[in-house]
Chains A and B, each alone.
Chain A
Amino acid sequence: MTALNFVGLLLARIAMGPDPDDGSFWMPPQVSTVARSVDWLFNFILAISVFFFILIVVVMVVFVIKYRRREGQQAQSSPSHNTALEITWTVIPVIIVIVIFFFGFKGYLDMATPPANAYEILVEGQKWKWSFNYPNGYVDENLHVPVDRPVRLVMSSADVIHSLYVPAFRIKQDVVPGRYTKVWFEATEPGEYDLFCAEYCGTSHSDMLAHVIVHPPGEFEIWLEKASNFLETMTPVDAGRKLFQVRGCQQCHSMDGSAKTGPTMLGVFGRTENMADGGTITVDENYIRESILEPNARVVAGFEPVMPTYQGRLKDAEIMAIIEYLKAPAGASQEE
């Protein structure tokens, strides 16, 4: 670590204020049961590394200074090998890596084996949106969990490989199309944390973020109850707007008139569209419904048939709400 490094980091730290994410110099805050053991091993390896690094650099610098070439002076003679010494510095690293391996594996087994009573949430990754499916069928774009209770995520992907990563929990698991992958954790501290996609997945990979909200004891159930009833508690337009955001439509359809992967939904209702097969169509309730359930039945000219079907993933009432939202005047659509 050069002096400049430290200066750089120091400036970085000053600019950000102390502990940008309430963590330590190296690590984000510890918010899961496994975080502590991961950090312990991290610090253990760090200590070993710093020791060997300093050893190497000090020996190097001392030799350079002490044995610096002076005019007309030859190297002193010393043996050009020493089997005992060389075996020593082969065996010592062997022992050290065996120890590291052991702790790493032990810690990993804890991370890989969920307790039997874990609360299960289904997760779906899709370009570039997470959706979290709670046991009662409610779907949210953020991950809400109770504190101090093991949670198991059963994950699948609608398109390419993604990877669910929560630094504060020290967990990461790829989400692979065509199979289910699982990961578990137990949050230890109520609060709000970041969830990233860690496997590159295209244009908006870096915006495929979500929040993890860890609820204090007793509050998770209340939240779930309230959130699940949004079709009843909200107006259809508001519910539709929420669904439009939560279910990933927004990822491909803008509300400001600009085309993304799909056509804009600004003023879509009643619009006359040119279709890829040469015909035209006027957008009405039935056409929107068809677009959602069988998106490739009729494709808008100038776009790829990449919209996934929502057959079985959206209930009738939800489709109705979305249609209401898309019918609403532009003012209602634009408001976030």
Chain B
Amino acid sequence: MTDATTVLTGDGQPAGPGQRDSYLNHGKGVLSWLFTLDHKRIGIMYLAVILASFFLGGVFAMFIRTELLTPGQTIMTADTYNKMFTLHGAVMIFLFIIPGIPATLGNFVLPLMLGAKDVALPRLNLASFWLWLIGASVAVASIIIGAVDTGWTFYTPYSTTTGTAVVAMTLGAFILGFSSIFTGLNFIVTIHKMRPEGMTWFRMPLFLWGIYSTAIIQVLATPVLGITLLLLIAERTLGVGIFDPALGGDPVLYQHFFWFYSHPAVYIMILPAMAIMSEVISVFSGKHIFGYRFIAWSSIAIALLSFLVWGHHMFTSGQSSLTNMIFSALTFSVAIPSAVKVFNWLATMYKGSIRLAAPMLYALSFLFLFAIGGLTGLFLGSLSTDIHLHDTYFVVAHFHYVMFGGTVIAFLAGIHYWWPKIFGRMYSERWAQVSALLIFVGFNLTFFTQFVMGSHGMPRRYYNYLERFTAYHQASTVGSFILMIGFLIMAGYLLHSLVRGERAPANPWGGATLEWETASPPPYFNFEHEMQAGDPYDLDALSWDPSIKGYVRRDPSSVLAAPRGAD
């Protein structure tokens, strides 16, 4: 086990015999990480800070749920509670879930899937990471120092009349946005320019289609945050009335700006999750993905439609009936591509050879939870029912089913799927199953109860509540503790895997995309040969080799590019 530690910590001990070069031991010391241009190391650093944000956001969530155990004060004052849910929302949305999958798994896997050495613009990639750090510090500092208690939506005039921190907070979000634009731009260029021989657009792994669609939204939607920020600053420094009614502005205009960014951002969160699903379902069903083109086009459709539905957050704001009608109609149109994907994933399992390993357990969990999240969206897209349900716990439950049940669960599927590739080690399958089960049960208990109390009229962002909602709140809190235990177990076995995990083969699951063709963990330069791509879902091209406990290609030369000058 000593050599194992050497590889991972890079603590300067001589590599043991048979120790090969990998990106983890190529270059030692903190600086070799902080200033690396290697997409894999940047991906790992992102993974570290993003999981830290998730942990932080989770701690805030536990405070919130504990406070809600009883009506009135349980463990904190109303003002503290209001700051807690602001922090929970802002950290989870801006620091964790928006950058989440693209910056971590996207960064690590995307160039590997292309058989490439790195992303097209490695310096921009590093800049994106540093901007994230700066943006995150500005955002968290402004919330804590400015005691921001506005909720993550920062609605005016509440946000502009309770201290000036909203400008600092938007600045933080904007810097984070720039980091997101950099990542998106980088991925677009990389996918356009660096696809290997044989990888036409419609032979691209669907993960890349998902990340590509996400990148389009990142690049097009995020600048709106910048505009909003400039307008807020203009209002506060020059006294131009834009959002503040006291100056003749219109507070609802702010909501338009906010959701014009934040609704597409919802799809920045979910598209990469769907991208992971397409890989995991296919590989663990041992089947070619069903309906490749429909899945690919539906990602693009979602990306484009996502720009047209922001007004559905404002059905009760007093906007005209015509506006409400248009936004309701457009909102329903986004439901279609998501439904198509779900049916295609199910069809992929048909006649498959389904293996219930941890990534697949999370993928099945995703189907279950995302179905509920998506279907409950119908109640909210429909005008007359939304009037009743808007701003209640029904909405809270809905978006947690989509963001947590969808994105976070798919993220976990992705982490468990690529973990052996990233760290070169396996994790305990048994414990992974235990924690997947706890998370599934805890999640449903926490959030399903919220649907019911929401439709009974329990408004969101309530510190205090009527006696009759107590039992629902308590069931929800119990669920959140089960959820937390599930995550603690996960942290335990993943950390254990880092140091003690069994060595992973190059291809433990039998995936046919190119990242599985290189060693686990990959060498610094990713591939020893120039690669060429075939059908990314031709799983029959692989067979199980018990001697290495992994899969090997029946014809290894099929993915090696022909030597230069041969034709």
Q: State the A residues within 8 Å of B (CB).
A: 1-2, 4-5, 8-9, 11-13, 15-16, 20-21, 23, 25-28, 34, 37-38, 41-42, 45-46, 48-49, 52-53, 56-57, 59-60, 63-64, 67-70, 73-78, 80-82, 85-86, 89-90, 93-94, 97-98, 100-101, 103-112, 159-161, 163, 165, 167-168, 170-174, 176-179, 181, 194, 196-207
Contact = CB atoms under 8 A, between A and B. Distances in A.
Interface stretch (B11-19, B410-418, B463-471): B463-471
29 contacts: A5-B449, A16-B471, A28-B457, A37-B384, A42-B388, A46-B379, A49-B375, A49-B376, A63-B350, A73-B353, A74-B540, A76-B351, A78-B351, A80-B537, A81-B290, A94-B336, A98-B332, A104-B385, A105-B384, A107-B385, A111-B384, A165-B391, A174-B316, A177-B157, A194-B457, A202-B158, A203-B79, A206-B459, A206-B461
A34 B287 contact: no
Nearest to B337: A90
Nearest to B464: A206
Tell me the dominant secondary structure on chain B's binding face. Answer: helix
B529 interface: no
Interface stretch (B35-43, B128-136, B192-200, B323-331): B323-331
Contacts of B471: 11-13, 15-16
Nearest to A306: B161
Interface stretch (B58-66, B178-186, B271-279, B339-347): B339-347
Contacts of A26: 452, 455-456
Contacts of A8: 445, 448-449, 475, 478-479
A105 B383 contact: yes
Given A8-B478, A176-B318, A196-B457, 5 more contacts: A12-B471, A21-B457, A98-B332, A103-B384, A202-B162
Given A53-B375, A60-B364, A75 B353 contact: yes
Interface in B475-492: 475, 478-479
Q: How large is the interface on B (under 10, 10 to 19, 20 to 34, 35 or more residues)?
A: 35 or more
Contacts of A110: 384
Contacts of B351: 67, 75-78
Interface in B344-377: 344, 346-347, 349-356, 364, 367-368, 371-372, 375-376
Nearest to B468: A20
B162 A5 contact: no
B353 A69 contact: yes
A165 B388 CA distance: 8
A80 B290 contact: yes
A18 B215 CA distance: 50
B317 interface: yes
Contacts of A165: 391, 457, 459
Interface string B380-422: 0111111110111000000000000000000000000000000
A203 B82 contact: yes
A42 B354 contact: no
Interface stretch (B49-57, B114-122, B138-146, B244-252): B244-252
Contacts of A200: 82, 150-151, 155, 158, 460-461
B372 A53 contact: yes
Interface stretch (B24-32, B220-228, B291-299, B553-561): B291-299
Contact of A161 (B158, B356, B475): B158
